[in-house]
């Protein structure tokens, strides 16, 4: 029996993870569930899974939840605040931590899990984008295990040589390149000039995946793929030149590894995050996920196309940030979070997102990012610079 802390349990990944966990009560029990301020959903989850602890970042939401939990006669203890998130991520009663908080807020609890040597099922790509060097160092030093849940990275990981850990440096070891597939998002067939007036509602209506708002906008700009290039760099030790992005509109091949002998290994499946979640939960074994089997005949065809950097300027910015190194990727991530939030709140246009990120990147000086303080300071500065362009 493995004890799980599920960070961000009320979100898209969080609820998919609970859907898998619900199918295997003999293998996993829930130690802690956490959310920002979704009291109703977290209360329902507490009723169903009876975690030992429930954490809400927001204090008044925690008070509401606590009242409802007590009234319902549940034994769950309700805590609040950032410290509590770190506590449940690193607690010695916990075996696995599912990291499904969105954005930079996920970083500190993930670092706490790494320091405590946990198996971390990583959905939150922003943590690696902000501080890949620090996180990978903590993972290695403390004997933690980092398993990718992002579908592309989980696919790559499944296609890499058996028995190698994810902390292996793959560059120059028989692998020509990693090929990340991208659906192209909801605006893939739009002309460039038509992007200016697209709305948040259109941007979050993804053709293949149902996801949280922030990652849906990231998919529309393809910053999501850019963040994933950076994520792949840290997870697999590959340089930016050996990581390629290809458009694949059906989202059936989740990514590929191209070996120097000409073999290209791909991982396929229906686009449903329960597959990578189940894979990372059960590794090195396999468990049912509830995902419907792939029907290749019904599918009929798979298409591929070039990912055009003119159509997706955010992808180009992410490659440039990775090549610049240090805290540049943390600056990119912070500026993107602010710009996406402003777009969702209808304060800027869709096409302003890359413009704001580029302005912040050109104005701010990055540093080596060897310490958490540096990373957090550059994240903060990038947010205030980005906000300057919005107000």
Residue 13 contact, options ligand NAD, Mg ion, none, Cβ 5-8 Å cut-off depending on partner type: ligand NAD
Is the bond preceding residue 68 a cis peptide, omega within 30 degrees? no
Output the smallest distance, CB 15 to ligand NAD, in A: 8
CA distance 127 to 234: 11
Q: With binding defined as CB under 5 A, does residue 341 bind Mg ion?
A: no
Here the tokens at position 87 are: 């506590």
For 30, 74, 114, 327, 372, the CA distances from 107, given in Å and listed in that order, are: 21, 30, 10, 14, 10
Q: Do 47 and 20 contact (CB within 8 A), yes or no?
A: no
When the beta carbons of 151 and 289 are compared against Mg ion, the nearer one is 151
Asked whether the CA dihedral 27, 32, 35, 39 is positive or negative, the reply is: positive
211 contact, one of ligand NAD, Mg ion, none, CB 5-8 Å limit per kind: ligand NAD
- Which of 80/364 has CB closer to ligand NAD? 80
- To the nearest whole angstrom, how small is the minimum distance from the Cβ of residue 263 to ligand NAD? 27
Which residue is nearest to ligand NAD, using beta carbons? 11
Helical residues (DSSP H) of 116-169, grouped into ranges:
126-141, 151-159
Residues 194, 7: Cα–Cα separation, whole Å: 38
Shorter beta-carbon distance to Mg ion: residue 150 or 258: 150
Q: CA-CA distance, 226 to 312, in Å (whole number)?
A: 10
**Cβ nearer to Mg ion, comparing 69 with 215:** 215
What does the alpha-carbon distance between residue 306 and residue 378 come to, in Å, rounded to a whole number?
33
| Closer by beta carbon to ligand NAD, 124 or else 364 | 124
| Footprint on this chain of ligand NAD (rule: CB under 6 A) | 8-14, 35-36, 38, 57, 100-102, 105, 123-126, 150, 209, 211-212, 214-215, 273
Shortest distance in whole angstroms from residue 168 CB to ligand NAD: 22
* Pick 61 or 151: Cβ nearer Mg ion: 151
Interacting partner of 279 out of ligand NAD, Mg ion, none (Cβ under 5 to 8 A depending on kind): none
Beta bridge partners of 247: 182, 305
Q: Is 126 in the site for Mg ion (CB under 5 A)?
A: no
Site size toward Mg ion, by CB under 5 A: 3
Question: 148-177: which residues touch Mg ion (CB under 5 A)?
Answer: 150-152
Distance CA 363, CA 23 (A): 50
Nearer to Mg ion, 53 or 156 (CB): 156
Cα separation, 271 vs 266, whole angstroms:
14
Q: Which does 215 bind (CB under 5 to 8 A by kind): Mg ion, ligand NAD, none?
A: ligand NAD
**DSSP category for residue 193:** G
- In the complex, the residues that contact Mg ion under the rule CB under 5 A are 150-152
């Amino acid at each position: 029996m493995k004890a799980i802390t599920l960070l961000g349990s009320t979100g898209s990944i969080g609820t998919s993870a609970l859907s898998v966990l619900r199918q295997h009560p003999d293998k996993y029990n829930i130690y802690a569930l956490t959310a920002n301020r979704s009291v109703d959903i977290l209360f329902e989850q507490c009723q169903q899974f009876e975690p030992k602890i429930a954490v809400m970042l927001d204090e008044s939401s925690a008070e509401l939840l606590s009242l409802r939990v007590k009234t319902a006669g549940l034994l769950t203890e309700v805590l609040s605040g950032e410290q509590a998130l770190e506590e449940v991520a690193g607690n010695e009663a916990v075996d696995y931590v599912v990291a499904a908080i969105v954005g930079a807020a996920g970083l500190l609890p993930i670092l706490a899990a790494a320091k405590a040597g946990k198996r971390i099922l990583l959905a939150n790509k922003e943590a690696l984008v902000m501080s890949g060097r620090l996180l990978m160092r903590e993972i290695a030093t403390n004997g933690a295990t980092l398993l990718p849940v992002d579908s592309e990275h989980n696919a790559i990981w499944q296609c890499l040589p058996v028995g190698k850990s994810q902390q292996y440096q793959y560059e120059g070891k028989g692998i020509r390149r990693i090929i990340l597939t991208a659906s192209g998002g909801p605006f893939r067939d739009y002309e460039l000039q038509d992007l200016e007036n697209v709305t948040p509602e259109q941007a979050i209506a993804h053709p293949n995946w149902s996801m949280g708002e922030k990652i849906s906008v990231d998919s529309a700009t393809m910053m999501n793929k850019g963040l994933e290039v950076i994520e792949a760099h840290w997870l697999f030790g590959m340089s930016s030149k050996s990581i390629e992005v290809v458009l694949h509109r059906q989202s059936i091949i989740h990514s590929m590894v191209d070996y120097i002998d000409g073999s290209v290994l791909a991982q396929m499946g229906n686009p449903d995050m329960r597959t990578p979640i189940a894979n990372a939960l059960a590794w090195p074994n396999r468990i049912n996920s509830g995902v419907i089997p792939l029907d290749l005949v019904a599918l009929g065809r798979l298409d591929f196309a070039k990912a055009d950097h003119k159509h997706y300027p955010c992808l180009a910015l992410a490659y440039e940030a990775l090549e610049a190194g240090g805290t540049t990727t943390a600056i990119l991530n912070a500026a993107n979070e602010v710009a996406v939030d402003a777009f969702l709140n209808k304060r800027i246009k869709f096409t302003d997102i890359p413009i704001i990120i580029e302005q912040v990147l050109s104005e701010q000086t990055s540093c080596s990012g060897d310490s958490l303080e540096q990373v957090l300071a550059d994240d903060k500065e990038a947010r205030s610079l980005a906000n300057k362009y919005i107000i």
